[in-house]
Amino acid sequence: MERRAVTQAPATTTPSAGAPADAWSSGEAAALVGAELSGPADLPLTRLDTLDRADRATLAFIRDEKHAQKWASSEAGAAIVTRGVEVPGHDPDRRALLIVDDADHALIRLLERIAPAHVGPPPGVHPQATVDPTATLGEAVRVGAGARVGPGTTIGEGTVLHANCVIGARVTIGRACDVRAGVVIEDRCVLGDAVVIHPNAVIGADGFGYRPAPDGRGLVKIPHAGHVEIGDAVEIGAGAMIDRGKFGATIIGAGAKIDNLVQIAHNCRIGRSCVICGACGIAGSVTIGDGAVLGGGVGVRDNVTIGAGAQVGARSGVMDDIPAGEVWVGYPARPAKETMRIVAATGRLPKILKRLRGLGVDEGLDRD
């Protein structure tokens, strides 16, 4: 990457949070993220976007060599780039690179400053909300139109309940939580501080448990007398479902991030800072260790354990315990290297069959 004209960004005054994008310059953006600036400091920047959708007023993003190859053909005026990534075709007389230790983290810092705040209900309890007289609301709690708060429930200081939330009886919600529109939190569930729940998630519905009726005619529902406990700083995506325990609690550890449309069944124990991507389905009594990551659409059978720091590839089907720190993929899931060997071998089967037939060893082989 061309490194001439690289300077430490001047300590200019950066736009405040929510400032209009047309107030930004390449120098201001560099100062905000602590970047070295390779190029002009006075380029006007009005938007953030990808390299292939950029114009001259765009600040783009280069995290690795693959993205760097697009710089020469992009119209972007400036880009945040990870230090050490070579950027072919950079002309520091015309365009600017903001060189940082980690482009992903720098972009997060920038987005935190410019992303508009989510618009919530006004202070207080909306006239069309219903709060049971025995419920306790902390200071600065906001309750939106159509929301309902059940008897004996406690809502912590600064928490926001958006429109049409339904909070059951004897629920405990901590401080500074953000419960978005249409969320349902059933009876006796417990939320820590700074929990974010996106629209239409359901916390504490009955688990899916049935047994054949003694007379063999139909099914008998298993009551679920437990609850859900959610730790501090957990974020739960839109439409996610977390079922209450049969007895005891379904537990979501502090800092866990759960994507949209995830199903977590009764009595699961999800560790701290786990990442569970969209459309995962986790059956009952599964234990997932701290820091584990499940890719999109993973299915996990009941009563298995996924160890701390393990990673499971998208669309995998987990049928057995996964040791801590291992990477598993496939259906059924196996250690990643084993799965890749199986996939590679499967791809060679047509050639192997052809050779066998050429040797006259074709008895029982499917010719279709």
Q: What is the pLDDT of residues 122-156, one digit of tens each?
A: 999 999 999 999 999 999 999 999 999 999 999 99
Strands 36-38 and 6-8 turn out to be: antiparallel
- Comparing CA positions, the residue from 330, 296, 290 lying closest to residue 310 is 290
pTM reported for the whole predicted model: 0.88
Banded pLDDT at 83 (limits 50, 70, 90)? very high
pLDDT digits (tens, 9 = 90+) for 294-341: 999 999 999 999 999 999 999 999 999 999 999 999 999 999 999 999
Backbone angles phi, psi at 173, to 5 degrees: -120, 130
In contact, 62 and 98? CB cutoff 8 Å: no
Listed residue (44, 50, 51, 96) closest to 71, CA to CA: 51
Please answer whether residues 237 and 215 qualify as being in contact, where contact means their C-beta atoms are separated by less than 8 angstroms: no
Instruction: Say which CATH architecture domain 6-114 belongs to.
Output: 3-Layer(aba) Sandwich (3.40)
Q: Answer whether CATH 2.160.10.10 is correct for domain 183-332.
A: yes
- Examine the residue annotation and report whether 266 is marked as an active-site residue of this protein: yes
Q: State yes or no: pLDDT of 235 exceeds 60.
A: yes
Percentage of the chain with pLDDT > 70?
Answer: 92
User: What pLDDT sits at residue 65?
Assistant: 96
Q: Strand order of the sheet with strand 36-38?
A: 6-8, 36-38, 96-100, 78-82, 58-62, 47-48
Task: Give the single-character DSSP code of 16.
Answer: P
Q: What residue spans define the domains of the chain?
A: 6-114, 183-332
Do 230 and 179 meet the contact criterion of CB atoms below 8 Å apart?
no
Rounded mean pLDDT, 105-123: 90
Rounded Cα distance between 148 and 184, Å, is 10
Region 229-258 average pLDDT: 98
Catalytic residue among 67, 198, 224, 266: 266
Angle formed at CA 118 by CA 117 and CA 121, multiple of 5 degrees: 125
Q: What are phi and psi of 117, to 5 degrees?
A: -65, 145
pLDDT beyond 70 at 360: yes
Mean pLDDT of 71-97: 96
Angle between helix axes 103-114 and 26-33 (nearest 10 degrees) is 110
H-assigned helices in 57-98:
65-68
